[in-house]
Structure 1
Amino acid sequence: MTEKKQIHLAAHFPGVNSTTVWTDPRSRSQIDFSSFEQLARTAERGKFDFFFLAEGLRLREHKGLIHDLDVVGRPESITVLNALAAVTERLGLAATVNATFNEPYELARRLATLDHLSGGRAAWNVVTSSDAFTGENFRRGGYLDRADRYTRAAEFVDTARELWDSWTPDGAPRPVSHDGRHFSVRGEFTVPRSPQGHPVVIQAGDSDEGREFAAASADVIFTRHGTLEAGRVFYADVKARLAAYGREPSDLKIMPGVTFVLGDTAADAQERAAEIRRQQVSPQNAILALEQIWGRDLSAYDPDGPLPDIDPDPESELVQGRVKIADPFAIAAKWRALAEAKGLSIRQTVIETTTRQSFVGTPQAVADELDEFVQTGAADGFILVPHLTPGGLDEFVDQVVPLLQERGAFRTEYTGTTLRSHLGLAEPVWKG
């Protein structure tokens, strides 16, 4: 009998986005430590692989004003995770840190410190930016050409690994000498080799260059795909790239970010999901989403009316601090065609087009679907993004996790102490 593939699960702290229903009275602070602690403890109770934090290096702006969700602040990820290391025992701790506006020595040191303090549970989600708006907060500004962001990130990861490898496994430090296009590092690293060898490296991105970067350098890829078939295509494509770098398919875990909605019946779950989407996409949020695509002030439009008949402005700087839309004309055309075919308003169109992959149904149906994705090669696991902060993970842990455990697809207890052991990743071979 073929052994069942094990599902990997992680919990994303939603933070400053439109997934969280902030109008719900159960939603709490996105900066108070108690919120982070509650979600992390729930994830550990559910035997999750890791807890995942996003990053923001500048408050976003919309029409020259600070974005509403950013005004309460965006705390620094590694600091939060160091605190969580003291109130958790096995849960992995993943920080999103930008490879464009940091330096290898300093970041490698902070991540190695977290790995030691947590007993080998640290992870780094590598992201990049060519955004001059964000760069204004840094000495070099937005100097980096978009085409160079992955070359810098790849050298950044390689340099960090050289630093992590500069101490022998038996505790002897050695000098580091790195001379590359983006970095020159000469000196001695201050932190001994960590309990899991290197912190786990996560990469977020679906572009071709992002996939190649993940195949070459990452342990986990954080992605998104909307259907089972799309997931299988992505999974096969990325796994096939690994051989060129001397890696096995099991060396890289593919974990899409997803949401979930549970109900006593399928109809109940669908009704709850629809109501959650209406709460997430308020009339105001619908216009904000439209303005991000069109690059125009559309405040005069009725959210319950038709889409604008004007074209987007591709040169607009109406929205700052968000990923720039590559082809707003194509998206506008797609939205118009959908709205016309289904008779949708602005708000209804935004609801239909901006939904992240969600698993909606009874706990049994959701467990079945999650398992199908993993067993049929569409994912290795999932990063769950609950719609309530911080209590939105509780019902999944209480109702879905036991069903996955019963079918032998998910652990009942942690069998190791490090994040690498949770993910089934080998400790990196020391490069002496």
Structure 2
Amino acid sequence: MKQMHLAAHFPGVNSTTVWADPRSGSQIDFASFEHLARTAERGKFDFFFLAEGLRLREHNGRIHDLDVVGRPESLTLLNALAAVTDRLGLAATVNATFNEPYELARRLATLDHLSEGRAAWNVVTSSDAFTGENFRRGGYLDRADRYTRAAEFVATARELWDSWTPDGTPRPFAHTGRHFDISGEFTVPRSPQGHPVVIQAGDSDEGREFAASAADVIFTRHGTLEAGQAFYADVKARLAKYGRRPGDLTIMPGVTVVLGDTDAEAQENATEIRHLQVSPQNALLALEQVWGRDLSSYDPDGPLPDIDPDPESDLVQGRVKVADPLAVAAKWRALSEAKGLSIRQTVVEATARQSFIGSPRTVATELEAFVEAEAADGFILVPHLTPGGLDDFVDRVVPLLQERGSFRSEYTGTTLRSHLGHAEPVWKG
């Protein structure tokens, strides 16, 4: 049986978290992050994963309600978590558009040393001028350039990490390219796992190619087994052109898990959770993100609007824009008409993340089936509660996976690369 990989995502400031639940805790107190990280390590997970936004989003000219609690800076937080964990990988989302290679490579290498080889960087990009207003360069970067800059950024960071020899000798570095022209000496020795692990999140053709060329892990989202298999086969097939093997890239979709003592109870729990996540207000906000129009006068329990989306709308700022709102609206209308769904019911069905719902035994079996069918190498779990949303999975599902031999019972290495089964990068001096 194939061994699966598991990671934990701190759910963050979004509509995943059920804020109304009395067990929902702080999104900024260190205790929340520590609880979730310790739970993930108790479950022998590969890594703990933090998302990050660089600006509070706006909706119809106002700060988006779910952003007002803020979010600490990821690398600072992970350095603190390194002191209260021993084996768990620590992954930070950091933007390659509004940072510089030398500074970020140094911060990541520092985390890798402080954690003894457990650091990871989730590389994201932005072509959003709204976000760029927080930075000196503003929105200068064309959308077509964001992956070329990211690819050169990662390559440059790796040159910096390789500028120290494995035996601890520093050497000068120099990089000249389209986006960066730097030279000097790097201040941090080669890290315990050679390089921090690189994660990429994205589903576009450019994103898949970037992952195949440069990433160690890809964080993706797919709603069905078939979609997962198609993505898996496509991305793995791209590796050969870069001299890489299928095992060099670990594919981990983000998923939710809802448990119950029986499958029927779990389904009831899942229905309740989805309706708490998609309140009437959140349903209209989600609809407005597609339609690009102020729909506040519509009844969430009524039918979808009969007007078309505005593809040029700037109603929503700071979010990734819907690529083809007309096509998405048509898909939502078809779903609504086929099942007789209201606005809220349509959003509940159309925006759900890939979910595994059932008794612990049912969920364990389905997770294993996805991995055996090559729809994933593992999963990044996104709990709906902070900070205790991972507890039941670790207590009730992980032991079943361990008994069946599909997940580790103990860590066999000390670095994140060892958890993933990836070799240390060959030094390129």
Into which bin does the TM-score normalised by the smaller protein fall?
Answer: over 0.9
- Match for 1:126: what amino acid? V
Secondary structure, aligned partner of 2:389: helix
Given candidates 409, 412, 415, the residue that maps to 1:412 is: 409
Q: Measure the CA separation in 2 of the matches of 1:48 and 1:318.
A: 39
4+ runs of 1 displaced by more than 2 Å? Answer: none
How big is the shift at 1:31? 0.6
Among 8, 16, 28, the alignment partner of 1:11 is: 8
SS in 2 for 1:129: coil
Q: Which residue of 2 aligns with 1:308?
A: 305
Which residue in the other structure is 2:317 paired with?
320
> Per the alignment, in what secondary structure is the counterpart of residue 144 of structure 1?
coil
2:174 is aligned with 1:177: yes
State the 1:303 CA deviation. 0.2
User: After superposition, where does 1:226-375 map in structure 2 within 5 Å?
Assistant: 226-375=223-372
| 1:33-89 CA-partner distances (Å, limit 9, x unpaired) | 000000000000000000000011000011111111111112110000000000000
Q: CA deviation at 1:380?
A: 0.4
Task: Look up the SS of the partner of 1:428 in the other structure.
Answer: coil
Distance 2:100 2:270 in 1: 42
Name the structure 2 match of 1:393: 390
Gaps of 5+ in 1: none
CA RMSD of aligned residues (A): 0.6
Number of residue-to-residue matches in the alignment: 429
Q: Which amino acid aligns with 2:30?
A: F
Code of the aligned partner of 2:83: A
Deviations 1:381-415 (A, max 9, x none): 00000000110000000000000000101111101
* 1:305-341 CA distance string (max 9 Å, x none): 0011111111111111000111111111111111111
The residue type equivalent to 2:184 in the other structure is: G
Aligned counterparts of 1:309 and 1:394: Cα–Cα separation in 2:
44
Q: Which piece of structure 1 moves more, 172-181 or 66-75?
A: 66-75
> Match of 2:136?
139
Give the one of 72, 75, 99 matched to 1:75.
72
Q: 1:99 aligns to what? A: 96
Distance 2:382 2:336 in 1: 28
Give the counterpart letter for 2:73 in structure 1: E
Q: 1:34 aligns with which of 18, 31, 34?
A: 31
Residue 61 of structure 2: aligned partner: 64
Question: Does the residue aligned with 1:178 lie in a helix, a strand or coil?
Answer: strand
Task: State whether structure 2 residue 106 is matched by structure 1 residue 114.
Answer: no
What is the distance in 2 between the residues matched to 1:321 and 1:367? 37
Give the structure-1-normalised TM-score.
Answer: 0.99
- Residue of 86, 90, 99 corresponding to 2:87: 90
Which residue identity lines up with residue 422 of structure 1 in the other structure? H
Q: Structure 1 residue 203 and structure 2 residue 208: aligned?
A: no
The Cα shift of 1:430 comes to 0.4
Determine the structure 2 residue equivalent to 1:379: 376
Partner of 2:52: 55
Hey, what does 1:150 align to over in structure 2? 147
User: Secondary structure at 1:396's aligned position in 2?
Assistant: helix
Give 1:266 deviation, angstroms: 1.0
Matching residue's letter, 2:390: L
Per-residue CA deviation, residues 363-387 of structure 1 (Å, 9 max, x unaligned), is 0000000001111211000000000
**Partner amino acid, structure 2, of 1:399:** R
SS of the residue aligned with 1:391? Answer: coil
- d(CA) in 1 for partners of 2:107, 2:30: 20
| Aligned mates of 1:199, 1:82 — CA distance in 2 | 14
